[in-house]
C-alpha cells in the first residue's frame, strides 16, 4: 500500500483552516448532541449552505466532525440528566445515570470518552485499509453496477432501519417518486414540472433535506413539552480509575468491532450498534444483574460502538457512493453540491479530499477527548435555553440558508412544504430517513438502469452476467427474502413448541 497519499492527507488536515473547521464541527456536534431533538442529520442539513463558500475538503471535515461529535455530546445528557441527547445514547442512560447518582458521573463520562475515542480510532484505521481495496474496482463500476448498488442500498435502508418496515418502504417509494420530477435526461421530456422552469432540473436535494430533517424536526419538537432540567450532579474526578478501565477494556474492544461492522451496513449505524453492544455485554457478563445498577461496561460498550459506527458509516459513502444512513445522505448531497461525486473513483481522483477527511477524524477524536470533560458544565447550561428561543432562531437560519444556495425564493417555498411534510411524517410514525435516501439514490438508480439497458441493447440479463452487478443483485435477493424465511422458520418453531407442550 502506497502511504504517501495518507501522509499528504495529514498535511491537508493540519492546515490551520481545516483544523479550525474540524474544531468548529466537533464543537457544534457536541452541542447538538447535548440538545435533545436536534440530531446530526438536521444540523448538517441546516448548515449545508454554509459549506458552499469553503473548499470541499474543509466542508466535509466540518460536517463529519458534527456527526461523530454528536455521539460524544449525546452521552453527557444521558449520564447527567437521564435525558439522551441522541437516539444512539439511549442505552447509556441505564448505567450511566445510575453511576451519576452514585456520585461517579465523572467515571461514566470518562469511560464514555475513552471508549468513543478507541472505537472511533479503530474504525478510522479499518477505513484507511479497506477503502483503497474497494477503490481498486473503480473502473469496473459502470452503469449496471451502480444500478444494482442503488437497488441494494434503498432496500437495505428501508428494511434494516429501526421502525416500521412497511412505513419505511412507503417513505422510500415516495422518495423515488420525487426523484422523477424534472426534465428527463434521456428524452428531455418534462415530468411533473407543471411548466415551472424551476422544476426543470428536478427538486433540489438541499430544500428536501433541510425541510424534512431540519424544519420538520423543529416543528415536531415544539410539540413536546420540555421537562424542567434539574440541576445536574456535580462532576468530580473525571478520570476513571484503573479498575474501571480494566473492567471495561473488553467491552470497549467488542464495542469497537460491533460498531465498525454494523456501521458499514446500510441502515445499521450508531443507534443499532449501541443497542447491540449493550445487549452483548449484558449477555456475556458473569453477573448480568449488575447492569442497570451502574456497571461501567454498560456505558463503555454502547458509547464505543456508536462512535465506531459513526466513523465506519463513511466507508460505503466514500468508497461506493452509497449513503448508509440519513446523515450520510446529507453529506452525500453536500459532496455533490461541491462538485465531488462520491464513488469508487474518489480515493484515486480526490486523494486529498479522501485522506484529508479520514485523517481529520483522528484529530477530531483527540479534540473531543480533550474537550468533552471540561465543557460538561457549559453544555449543561445550554440545556436551559428554552425551545421558544431556540426554535425560531433555527427556523430563520434554515430559511436564510436555503435561499443562499440558488438565490431562489422558490427553494424557501419548498423547504416550508417539506417541513410540513416532515412534521406530518414524524407525527404519523414515518421516518423521513428512507425518503431522503431513496430520493438521493433515485436518480442514480433510474439513470444507471436506463444507461445499462442502452448498453445492453435492452437485454436485462446483462445485469446478472457481469460479476459485480450479479453479486450485488444476489445480495439484494437475499436481503429481500431473508426476513420472510426467518419469519416462516420462527412460526414453524412456535408451532413445534406448541405441539410439544
Residues at the contact surface with another protein, assessed by CB under 8 A: 52-55, 138-143, 183, 185-190, 197-198, 200-201, 337-339, 341, 345, 404-408, 447, 451, 454-455, 457
Nearer to another protein, 247 or 404 (CB): 404
CB of 185 to another protein, least distance (A): 6
Is 259 within 8 Å of 281 (Cβ atoms)? no
- Least distance CB 408 / another protein (angstroms): 7
Report the C-alpha dihedral over residues 118, 124, 130, 136, rounded to 10 degrees.
-170
Closest CA to 326 of 444, 199, 178, 208: 208
State which residue, 457 or 498, has the beta carbon closest to another protein: 457
- Is-contact 190 183, C-beta < 8 A? yes
Residue 258, Ramachandran bin (φ over 0: left; ψ between -120 and 50: alpha; else beta)? alpha
Nearer to another protein, 82 or 451 (CB): 451
Nearer to another protein, 187 or 499 (CB): 187
Cα–Cα dist 373/485, whole Å: 48
- Phi (first) and psi of residue 282, to 5 degrees: -65, -40
- To the nearest whole angstrom, how small is the minimum distance from the Cβ of residue 443 to another protein? 9
Q: Which is nearer to another protein, 144 or 432 (CB)?
A: 144
Q: CB of 376: closest distance to another protein in angstroms?
A: 37
What is the C-alpha separation between 173 and 430, in angstroms, rounded?
12
Three-state SS for 322-352 is CCCCHHHHHHHHHHHHCCCCCCCCHHHHCHH
Task: Name the minimum Å distance from CB 195 to another protein.
Answer: 9
For 69-88, the three-class secondary structure string (H helix, E strand, C coil) is HHHHHHHHHHHHHCCCCCHH
Q: From the CB of 497, what's the least distance to another protein, in Å?
A: 54
Say how many CA atoms lie within 13 Å of 373 toward its Cβ. 19
Nearer to another protein, 139 or 378 (CB): 139
Cβ–Cβ < 8 Å for 181, 410:
no
Q: CB 410 → another protein: shortest distance, Å?
A: 10
Dist CA 437 CA 273 (whole Å): 20
CB closer to another protein, 325 vs 443 = 443
Pairing of strands 190-191, 182-183: antiparallel
- Closer Cβ to another protein, 201 or 224, answer by number: 201
* DSSP SS3 for 89: helix
> What does the H/E/C string look like for 230-288?
CCCCCCCCCCCCHHHHHHHHHHHHHHHHHHHHHHHCCCCHHHHHHHHHHHHHHHHCCCH
| Residues 357, 146 contacting (CB under 8 angstroms) | no
Collect all residues with Cβ–Cβ distance below 8 Å to 242 and sequence separation of at least 6: none
Kindly state the smallest distance separating residue 234's Cβ from another protein, in Å: 47
CB of 318 vs another protein, minimal distance in Å: 17
CB nearer another protein, residue 303 or residue 446: 446
Nearer to another protein, 312 or 452 (CB): 452
Q: How far is the CB of 201 from another protein (least distance, A)?
A: 5
User: Which CB atom, from 140 or from 495, has the smaller least distance to another protein?
Assistant: 140
Q: What is the CA radius of gyration of the chain?
A: 23
To another protein, the closest distance from the beta carbon of 139 in angstroms equals 4
Amino acid at each position: 500500500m502506497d502511504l504517501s497519499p495518507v501522509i499528504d492527507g495529514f498535511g491537508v488536515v493540519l492546515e490551520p483552516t481545516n483544523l479550525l473547521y474540524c474544531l468548529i464541527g466537533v464543537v457544534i456536534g457536541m452541542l447538538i448532541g447535548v440538545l435533545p431533538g436536534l440530531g446530526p442529520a438536521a444540523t448538517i442539513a441546516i448548515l449545508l449552505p454554509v459549506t458552499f463558500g469553503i473548499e470541499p475538503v474543509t466542508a466535509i471535515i466540518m460536517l463529519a466532525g458534527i456527526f461523530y461529535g454528536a455521539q460524544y455530546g449525546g452521552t453527557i445528557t444521558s449520564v447527567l440528566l437521564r435525558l439522551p441527547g441522541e437516539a444512539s445514547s439511549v442505552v447509556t442512560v441505564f448505567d450511566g445515570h445510575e453511576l451519576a447518582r452514585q456520585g461517579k458521573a465523572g467515571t461514566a463520562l470518562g469511560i464514555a470518552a475513552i471508549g468513543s475515542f478507541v472505537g472511533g480510532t479503530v474504525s478510522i484505521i479499518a477505513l484507511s485499509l479497506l477503502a483503497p481495496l474497494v477503490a481498486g474496482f473503480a473502473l469496473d463500476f459502470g452503469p449496471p453496477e451502480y444500478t444494482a448498488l442503488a437497488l441494494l442500498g434503498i432496500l437495505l435502508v428501508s428494511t434494516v432501519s429501526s421502525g416500521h418496515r412497511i412505513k419505511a418502504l412507503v417513505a422510500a417509494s415516495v422518495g423515488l417518486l420525487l426523484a422523477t420530477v424534472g426534465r428527463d435526461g434521456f428524452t428531455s421530456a418534462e415530468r411533473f414540472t407543471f411548466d415551472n422552469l424551476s422544476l426543470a432540473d428536478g427538486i433540489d436535494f438541499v430544500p428536501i433535506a433541510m425541510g424534512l430533517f431540519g424544519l420538520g424536526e423543529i416543528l415536531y419538537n415544539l410539540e413536546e413539552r420540555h421537562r424542567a432540567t434539574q440541576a445536574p450532579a456535580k462532576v468530580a474526578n473525571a478520570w476513571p480509575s484503573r479498575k474501571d478501565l480494566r473492567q471495561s477494556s473488553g467491552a470497549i474492544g467488542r464495542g469497537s468491532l460491533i460498531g465498525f461492522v454494523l456501521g458499514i451496513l446500510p441502515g445499521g449505524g450508531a443507534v443499532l450498534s449501541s443497542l447491540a453492544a449493550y445487549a452483548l455485554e449484558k449477555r456475556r457478563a458473569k453477573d448480568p444483574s449488575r447492569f442497570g445498577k451502574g456497571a461501567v461496561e454498560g456505558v463503555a460498550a454502547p458509547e464505543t460502538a456508536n462512535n465506531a459506527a459513526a466513523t465506519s458509516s463513511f466507508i460505503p459513502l466514500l468508497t461506493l457512493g452509497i449513503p448508509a444512513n440519513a446523515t450520510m445522505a446529507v453529506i452525500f448531497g453536500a459532496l455533490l453540491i461541491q462538485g465531488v461525486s462520491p464513488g469508487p473513483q474518489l480515493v484515486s481522483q480526490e486523494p486529498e479530499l479522501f485522506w484529508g477527511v479520514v485523517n481529520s477524524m483522528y484529530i477530531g477524536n483527540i479534540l473531543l477527548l480533550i474537550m468533552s470533560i471540561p465543557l460538561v458544565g457549559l453544555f449543561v447550561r445550554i440545556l436551559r435555553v428554552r425551545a421558544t428561543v431556540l426554535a425560531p432562531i433555527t427556523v430563520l437560519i434554515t430559511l436564510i440558508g436555503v435561499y443562499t444556495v440558488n438565490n431562489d425564493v422558490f427553494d424557501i417555498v419548498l423547504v416550508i412544504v417539506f417541513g410540513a411534510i416532515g412534521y406530518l411524517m414524524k407525527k404519523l410514525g414515518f421516518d423521513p430517513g428512507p425518503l431522503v435516501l431513496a430520493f438521493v439514490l433515485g436518480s442514480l438508480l433510474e439513470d444507471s438502469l436506463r444507461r445499462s439497458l442502452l448498453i445492453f441493447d435492452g437485454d436485462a440479463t446483462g445485469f446478472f452476467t457481469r460479476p459485480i452487478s450479479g453479486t450485488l443483485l444476489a445480495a439484494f435477493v437475499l436481503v429481500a427474502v431473508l426476513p420472510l424465511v426467518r419469519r416462516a422458520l420462527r412460526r414453524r418453531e412456535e408451532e413445534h413448541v406448541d405441539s410439544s407442550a
